[in-house]
Structures are given as C-alpha cells and as structure tokens.
Copies of this chain bind each other. A is one copy, B any other.
Amino acid sequence: MTATSSPHTYTIKEAAALTGLPASTLRYYESVGVIAPVGRGETSMHRVYTDGDMNLLVGVACLAATGMSVSDMRRYVANGALGAAAADEQIQLLEERAERLAAEARLIKIRQQYVKIKIEFWRATAAGDDTEVARLTAAARDLAQKIKPVK
C-alpha cells in the first residue's frame, strides 16, 4: 500500500449519488442523529464524507429502503458502534424487516394479478365485449377475497 493513507473523501453530492439518498436526506439524517455529525472542510463549512462514512451510509440506505423508521435506524446505527454486545437487538430489528418484506412480497403478487385483470378489463371495455367485461369484473372481485386469508 502506498504511504500512510488513501483518505479518499466525498462531497455531499457524491455521497448522495453513491448511496441513492438525496443530499437533503443526508443532511436530515445527520440533523436527527441517525448518523453522527460528518466532518467539515478546514476552511469551508462543507461536509466531507470519508470511506467509513460511506460504508455506514450505504447500510443506512438499505435499511431505509426496507421501510425502517428513523428512530429504529438511529438505534441500529448506535448499536453498530457497540459491536457484538448489541447483536441480539440488531437481529430482532432485522427480523422485523424480514417479516415486513415478506408481507410486501405477498401483496405485490396480488396487485400484479389485479393489474393484469384490469388491463384485460379495459381492452374488453374498448372492444365493447360486455360478456368479457362482466367476467373480468367478477374476477377482480374474486381476487379481493384472496386478501382476507393473508391476514
């Protein structure tokens, strides 16, 4: 490795591009304590993101994408600093995410079926095929019944 360090740093714009989070959201997460205050430029007030910051932020972006709340993200990140001691709680937070994702996947399948039926419905409507329109309307209604067992 060359020399002491490759202290590669990123501007907020680069950090936004790499995490997929808007710059405004990065500032927001910092302001509400999801992440610790980021370092600033010597002369300017501009935020300077390190590789370590970027690693953390990529993880935070993933959690945000699973719908984790800001307060849970705050907990999760704080626990991350604690290391192995907090493993149990981390696992619990993650298992809640897994459950939510599974439920979401089930609903998406139903919606895909529903959208498919509706496309056929509008084609039949445009074609003036009243019989088919009635059949598809009933099919859509049947799909509603499938929702109940999902609970």
Contacts and interface: CB of A to CB of B under 8 A. Distances in A.
A57 B94 CA distance: 33
B91 A101 contact: no
Is the interface on chain A under 10, 10 to 19, 20 to 34, or 35 or more residues? 35 or more
A79 to B, nearest CB: 9
Interface in A90-143: 90-91, 94-95, 97-98, 101-102, 104-105, 107-112, 114-116, 118-119, 121-123, 125-126, 128, 137-138, 140-141, 143
Interface of A: 6, 8, 10, 13-14, 17-18, 20, 51, 54-55, 58-59, 61-62, 65-66, 83-84, 87-88, 90-91, 94-95, 97-98, 101-102, 104-105, 107-112, 114-116, 118-119, 121-123, 125-126, 128, 137-138, 140-141, 143-144, 147-148, 150-151
Shortest Cβ-Cβ A-B pairs, 4 listed: A87-B126, A20-B151, A17-B147, A87-B122
